[in-house]
Chain A
Amino acid sequence: MKNFIEVTELKKVFGNGEDEVHAFGPATININAGEFVSVLGPSGCGKSTLMLMVAGLLDSTSGKVEFENKLVNGPKTDIGIMFQDNTLVPWRTVKGNIELQLELRGLNLKDYQEQINNILKSVNLDDFADRFPNELSGGMQQRAAFCQAMIHDPKIILLDEPLGKLDAMTREKIRADFQKLWMVKKPTVIFVTHSIEEAVQLSNRVILITPRPGKIDREIKIDLPYPRDLKVKRSPKFAEYVNSIQEVFHKYGVI
């Protein structure tokens, strides 16, 4: 049986001649429907590049991406994607920015009012619905961008370091909420992160990428029960996973 997402020998080289930068690959990744996969790797190894190619927003140099046997050859629109830099527009409020996603997709705003309130509440931004992005802190902007990426309830979710700018506590809370959401709706998730703990806590599988040009060093299946609450996080098995990943990056001199 074919996999839900198949990334085959995917490679990206930016520029040409002297300016050539080999950013990623070649790498092959298979992902099942409903699977939560984290992509972990040092800065500049091509994680964002990989994500954009999977979303069909960046042409690959060679190789291919397929969703359910269908080749990706243009922007995929049936996804939720959160970019590394937020996509909030300064002329709309937090709520207006979330609605922008719906408007661009031609969805009816009235049907989503309750969902907007709920998702804002879940990231503690309900009091800031009518504020403009420049009135928010960096972490609050990131939370608003998270809501913007998720509001249309996508079945495929690509997140590029969505929690990177958050304080430890908020980060913990949103992780837990996101895990709950994933357990209920079972979307397929590709989650780019710098945090080893975060990857282990959330994922079915963690893909470790080598320094640039990023290739797959190894994939680690995380065999821990969901929900992975504090008890699981304190278990020796959890620590073992974290340690083994740390060792890999230690080998590369990244940590």
Chain B
Amino acid sequence: MKKFIKWIASGWMLILFFIGFFLFWEYSIPLFDIPRYILPSPSEIVLKGSADLDKLIYYTGVTALETVLGYIIALILGVGFGIAISFSSILRRTLYPFFVSIEMTPKIAFAPLFISWFGFGLMPKVIIVVLVCFFPIVLNAILAFNSLSNELTLFYQSTGASRLKTFFSIRLPAALPQCFVGFKYAAINATVGATIAEFIGSDKGLGFYISIVTGNMRPDLAFAGIFFLTVLGLTIFGFVTMMEKILIPWHISMKRINK
């Protein structure tokens, strides 16, 4: 009960903070005489943005498709490679160090190359999202599948269970919490990848929209685009967090008790 009140209190504080933030933004513009082509006020962003709503919604869909498609492909590839590397000593000595070294290079730097190779369409954006999301997923999956406690390993060995049964009964559930660390990190990066890919070369999508309207000296519309991008990112992240709660409720409750 105490915790609940605390939670409400902290929640209200956050809401108040946001209200204060936007009020400050709204009224500091006339106060400091900031020209609207530099920084528009929140009310103007809402007003001008809603005039362009159809386009914004359509472009959100475009960017969402690139992001979600890339994310799902990265998820499948990342977990697949993660499991393969965890269970094969050859791959662990070859692919694993290779992935770790690639992880060091900023993947987004490949974006212009992909655009020049594959054109303006959907595919290069999806590839860039995959590239950005794949590494956190695969590296966390490797960590996850390699960190089974010694006792549990000995325990299943003493039962004589098959590798397949052990995998689904012990290894997979034990690995999920660490896997989700990667999934969540990738979910945050996914929209970043898609947006930058659209900046570089595209004819639709929120990244394209933002770069065009900024060029036309319309920061109000750019902010509207950023707002939709934020909503998209939050939705994807929220979905992954929800999946975590559904798939590993025991892990969430464990964290709560440890607090």
Contact = CB atoms under 8 A, between A and B. Distances in A.
Interface of A: 52, 55, 57, 75-77, 79, 81, 83, 85-87, 89-91, 100-101, 103-106, 132, 134-135
Nearest to B155: A87
B254 A90 contact: yes
B165 A104 contact: yes
B257 interface: yes
26 contacts: A55-B154, A57-B154, A57-B157, A75-B158, A75-B160, A79-B158, A83-B151, A83-B154, A85-B149, A85-B151, A86-B151, A87-B151, A87-B154, A87-B155, A89-B152, A89-B173, A90-B251, A91-B248, A91-B250, A91-B251, A100-B169, A103-B165, A104-B156, A104-B161, A134-B254, A134-B257
Given A81-B158, A89-B173, A134-B254, 4 more contacts: A57-B158, A83-B154, A89-B170, A135-B257
B170 A105 contact: no
Interface string B186-220: 00000000000000000000000000000000000
Nearest to A103: B169
Name the prevailing secondary structure of the B interface residues: helix
B178 interface: no
Contacts of A86: 151
| Pairs of residues from A and B, 5 with the lowest C-beta to C-beta distance, nearest first | A77-B160, A104-B161, A104-B159, A87-B155, A75-B157
A77 B253 contact: no
Contacts of B158: 55, 57, 75-77, 79, 81
Contact of B174 (A57, A79, A89): A89
Contacts of A55: 154, 158
Nearest to A86: B151
A174 B257 CA distance: 29
Nearest to A74: B157
Contacts of A105: 159-161
A83 B157 CA distance: 13
A223 to B, nearest CB: 33
B80 to A, nearest CB: 22
B166 interface: yes
B35 to A, nearest CB: 58
A86 B149 CA distance: 10
Given A104-B161, A105-B160, A134-B253, A87 B248 contact: no
B34 to A, nearest CB: 53
A101 B157 contact: no
B2 to A, nearest CB: 19
Given A76-B158, A105-B161, A134-B254, A87 B169 contact: no
Given A57-B154, A104-B169, A90 B160 contact: no
Contacts of A79: 158
B152 A87 contact: yes
A21 to B, nearest CB: 16
Nearest to B170: A89
A90 B156 contact: no
Nearest to B249: A91
Contact of B159 (A77, A83, A89, A132): A77
Interface in B240-256: 248, 250-251, 253-254
A101 B156 CA distance: 8
A132 B173 CA distance: 15
Contacts of B251: 90-91
A90 B250 contact: yes
Interface in B134-172: 149, 151-152, 154-161, 165-166, 169-170
Which residue of A86, A104, A132 has the most chain B CB atoms within 10 A of its CB atom? A104
Contacts of B250: 90-91, 132, 134
A239 B173 CA distance: 49
Interface string B56-89: 0000000000000000000000000000000000
